[in-house]
Amino acid sequence: MPGEGIIQRMYIGRGELEIEEVNDKLGLKINILCYTIPLERIPALVRRVVVENLSADARRVEILDGMPFIVPSGVNDWVLKHMLTTIKAWMEVYNLDKGVPFFKLRSSTEDVPRVEELTQGNFYVSIAVLDGRSVLLKPIVDPDLVFGSDTSLFKPVNFIAKPLREWAGGRQVTFNKPPSAFSPVETRLEPGGVVKLYTVIGYAPSMAVLEEYVGKFTNPEYLEGKRAEANAVLEEIVKDVSTKTSSKLFDEYVKQCYLDNVLRGGYPLVLDEEKPLVYYLYLRKHGDQERDYNYFVMTPEYYSTGNANYRDVNQNRREYVFLHPEIRDYDVKFFVNLLQTDGYNPLVINGVKYRLKNIDVKMLEDLVDKPELLAEFLREPFTPGKLSMFIEEKGIRLKVPDDEFLRRLIKHCEEEVDAVHGEGFWVDHWTYNLDLIESYLGVYPERKRDLLFRDRSYTYYDNTMVVLPRSKRYVVQGGRIRQYGSLAEDPEKKSLIESRWEFKHLMRAQRGRGEIYRTTLAVKLLNLALVKFATLDPAGVGIEMEAGKPGWYDALNGLPGLFGSSVGEAAELVRLLDFLTESFQEYPGEELGIPVEVWELYRKELELLEEYGKMSGGGRDHWLWDNLSKLREEYREKTRLGFEGKELAVKAGELVDGLKKLRDKLWTGVKQAMDENDGLLPMYYYYEPVEYEVGVDGEVRITKFEKKRMPLFLEGVVKQFRIVKDKDALKEIYGKVRESELYDRKLGMYKVNAPLRDQPMEIGRARAFPPGWLENESIWLHMEYKYMLELIRNGLYDEFYQDFRNVVVAFLDPGVYGRSPLENSSFIVSSAYPDESLHGAGFVARLTGANAEFLSIWKNMFIGGKLLTMENGELVLEFKPALPGWLFDEEGNAGFTLFGKCRVTYHNPRRADTWRLDLEKARITLHLENGERVEIPGCKVRGNLALKIRNGEVTAIDVYLPDS
């Protein structure tokens, strides 16, 4: 903590961190700035230290700046924590004599016959700038020189006890110990004098590559230029959502949410607009240091990207087609293609690679000067980054500009998605796909028929992991029946998948031995809906957690073992069936090629419903569950290796009545759940087996369950808002939420769940967390934002803005929140937490789903939910902002960026709440890129002009709102 006469400040920029201390006692100001070096072959961090003499007297200063421990390349996290004593025998610091130490292991460390010498390493380059001269510093890499007897590396004993010149030049041991990296400087500072240290820390694939950069890294002008370049890259990204209101903090918060969203969802680089093919830059898992359990990877190459989870990336890309219309349906196809025939999907997405269809040396001759060399490289799948680095390494000269080269090559390639099973199957991942579809149709409504019925290039992901039948999932534990070990690897499937030489995880026809099976989006969605319907819980109100994982709420990890179910996913299935029914009614003559296995599932589900309708008594729900489960297991066994490939041609209109019956059954269960909870939709139930039989082989057959209610979860209400369309009913729901234990009256915020104190520990780790902390009764930001999004989506504008400034981070008191109001947290400590001093404080990882939810809120605030629609066969773009008067500046203006390109300004001289205005009395001025201006009465732009806006041919739009 700073003492008397010491002032410390921290500044957080979009891409840099700055710490400053003013020490009146010493008469010194110390400033530390950290930023990254962009657009180079090797990743590196710059640390700039500036020491200024503020006193009237000259000062003799000694500076030792750096790191007590720098991890040599080749050492992973596990080895560092568990085998440090052993692994240090491999460690060595090279190149210290040249002042540019290179930290690496001598060789590979695995206990296998193949041993390799390692060439890659981490490096540390440091210079001091004195009187305009740059001096290369020789770093201290031996921690014993600095810390002496203090092996904790906390107190620099020698630096404190002796002058720097007496020990800094001593012999350094550069092997068999974890190395340090310190920059020593001793100088005299006159009054007002300044000394600067620039240190570059990073990774290089070899010493040879590092040597190419030493001249740059020891040049202050280059390093300052890279700071400006890094900031320019970030500004170029966030300009997509540039916003101008009366609140500068809000405007910057929008940008930061978008930037953080990009870091988890990626930034689209369109490589082929015709297909389209899109390569996402920057994305990674939310592996912030505060979120210590998430491991993430970034590729050390140009066009760098990383790994991420299916749900996260799907959620974070929801609004990308609005911000980047040129990506079209790419994300819809990307995520829907990862759905399996069993309704699940792989967890981890490692990125995409490209595979050249045919090696055409003649085609390459038009692009490069060494086509044969490039052709050899292209025989294997590649990433744009690896391709670019190969060309650079081999000295291949391009005959066309970089971007043109990549785009022309990609036109001859197919995309291969690198996804892996990961930890299991979550119950909710599939639900995010409908959001993507709706977002796409909100920008391209005229392409609905083509999207659903005409594009037969959709595929299925083929996974070696399968959901086991009930006979293998149900176990007896301590005299009780539980559902454990839901998944297993199928050896036959694994052998079949591994035998394929390309696109291994694309499902084949002929039970996995034929050609890649391709279908339409409509068929895949129908297939998905039918499988999920067959996963109804024993009471017919929720979707079973049959596959071992809950939904996004991971902290209910015990719920699948307790035969848990999610009512929220039943509500999502209502949405999906509504979408399919409406679409099939809209295009009744479109023909679907339905796999015979899917058609049989559909037909038998309707037969079961018909028989169910004739039954009475309390046992009929259990009967339906048991028979649907049998049907699901039969279907999965038939499709375990893939579809046979035979299809039934069915007109879309012929499916409408059957889908309505499935939907009505779901709605009955959802309505029952709402009635049981005073009109609010519960999110979860679990089921205790009370009557069962155990066979001689240990197989368990459950004949009766007892349904167990759980407290309210905010997500249940969010799902309720998505299926209840009556505005008065929604206002009543809002009022009930404010009266419930989901509402934190002290903070004016919404908790993720009501108290769990009456629940058993078996439901999961959430029960073990103290109330108000992590996923137990805290303000879980991304779910609270989901709730806020539903308020504004459904036109509850007064209610939305009643909560707005209590909920949105940009308007929170930083003294209470405990961090920058531009930075999201995973959760905010609620007033349920026993320690009142932390109420309202934010914790853990700003790369949350809250960023995606806020971008959707932002879109609804500035333009409304449905941007583009079709009216009488004509494309219509409607401006329907929901902005409060106080967000308009003194001149009555507020603006945002449409489609990532077009500047829209609302002129509202009375600063009225826009939802109270008659927008039909508005007028619009379009500024076209050719200099033409077009005046339009009302709030709608129609036909060709709407198309021009979407295509980026309109640079600015002024919307003049009515005075009354």
Q: Which two tokens stand for residue 414?
A: 């197919």
pLDDT at position 365 over 80 = yes
Q: Are 645 and 514 in contact (CB under 8 A)?
A: yes
pLDDT digits (tens, 9 = 90+) for 282-334: 998 876 666 677 777 888 889 999 999 999 999 999 999 999 999 999 999 99
Give the pLDDT of residue 296: 78
Helix (H) or strand (E) run with residue 330 in it: helix 330-336
C-alpha–C-alpha distance, residues 484 and 236, integer Å: 49
- Each residue of 845-869: pLDDT tens digit? 778 899 999 999 999 999 998 899 9
**Residue 746's Cα: distance from chain center in Å?**
31
Tokens of 163: 């002058």
How much is the pLDDT for 290? 66
Range of weakest confidence among 296-300, 337-341, 805-809: 296-300
What is the rounded distance in angstroms from the CA atom of residue 445 to the CA atom of residue 432? 19
| DSSP letters for 338-398 | T--TTS---SEEEEEEEEESS--HHHHHTTBS-HHHHHHHTTS-B-HHHHHHHHHHHTPPB
For residue 12, list its beta bridge partners. Answer: 17
What pLDDT is stored for residue 844 in this prediction?
Answer: 87
Nearest Cα neighbor of 201 from 39, 67, 303 is 67
pLDDT reading at 573 higher than 70: yes
Average pLDDT (415-430) is 95
- The H-assigned helical ranges of 204-247 are 207-217, 220-238
Q: Residue 178 CB: number of other CB atoms within 10 A?
A: 18
Residue 44 phi/psi, 5-degree rounding, is -155, 150
595 or 76, which is more confident? 595
Nearest CA to 263 among 807, 852, 897?
A: 852
Is 830 in contact with 769 (CB distance < 8 Å)?
no
The CA distance from 679 to 733, in Å, is 7
Residue found under tokens 């769990």: 756
Nearest residue to 711 via CA among 760, 782, 672: 760
Output the pTM of the full model: 0.95
Ramachandran class of 127: left when φ > 0, alpha when ψ lies in -120 to 50, beta otherwise: beta
Q: Which helix (H) or strand (E) holds 185?
A: strand 181-189
Q: pLDDT digit string (tens) for 116-167?
A: 999 999 999 999 998 889 999 999 999 999 999 999 999 999 999 999 999 9
At 604 the pLDDT is 98
In the block, tokens 């918060």 appear at 253
Catalogue the E-assigned strands of 873-962.
874-878, 893-898, 902-907, 923-928, 933-937, 940-942, 954-960
Please state, in angstroms and as integers, the Cα–Cα distance from residue 511 to each residue in 420, 456, 644, 801, following that order.
21, 20, 5, 55
- Reading phi first (left if > 0) and then psi (alpha if -120 to 50, else beta), residue 854 is in alpha
Cα separations (Å) of 916 from 544, 569, 650, 721? Answer: 44, 35, 47, 22
Tens of pLDDT, residue by residue over 673-709, are 999 999 999 999 999 999 999 998 889 999 999 999 9
136, 178 in Cβ contact below 8 A?
no
Structural tokens at position 521: 């989006």
pLDDT of residue 681: 98
pLDDT reported for residue 291:
67
Instruction: Please write the tens of the pLDDT for every residue from 776-794.
Output: 999 999 999 999 999 999 9
pLDDT digit string, tens, across residues 493-529: 999 999 998 999 999 999 999 999 999 999 999 999 9
Q: Residue 788: which H helix or E strand, with range?
A: helix 781-793
Residues in the chain: 964
Mean pLDDT of the chain: 95
Residue-level pLDDT at 300? 83
> How many angstroms separate the first and last alpha carbons of the chain?
56
Q: State the Cα angle at 953 between 952 and 958, rounded to 5°.
A: 90
Residues 193-218, mean pLDDT to the nearest whole number: 96
Give CA–CA dist 280/266, Å, rounded. Answer: 5
Residues facing residue 370 across a β-bridge: none
Question: Quick one: pLDDT at residue 2?
Answer: 66
One-letter amino acid for residue 200 of the chain: V
From CA 161, how far away is CA 159, in angstroms rounded?
6
What stretches of 587-742 show up as alpha helix (H) in DSSP?
Answer: 596-614, 620-638, 656-675, 714-723, 727-739
What pLDDT, on the 0 to 100 scale, is given for residue 294?
72
Q: Is the pLDDT of residue 1 over 60?
A: no
579, pLDDT greater than 80? yes
Give the residue from 80, 418, 245, 324 showing the smallest Cα distance to 892: 245
pLDDT attached to residue 217: 97
| 717-750 pLDDT per residue, tens | 999 999 999 999 999 999 999 999 999 999 999 9
Residues with Cβ < 8 Å from 238, sequence gap 6 or more?
A: 14, 255, 256, 258, 259
pLDDT digits (tens, 9 = 90+) for 525-566: 999 999 999 999 999 999 999 999 999 999 999 999 999 999
Phi and psi for 494 in degrees, rounded to 5? -60, -45
Q: Rounded to whole angstroms, how far apart are CA atoms 631 and 610?
A: 15
Q: Helix H segments across 808-959?
A: 814-817, 850-862, 943-950
Q: Which residues contact 503 (CB under 8 A, 6 or more apart)?
A: 416, 516
Give residue 230's Cα distance to chain centre.
Answer: 22
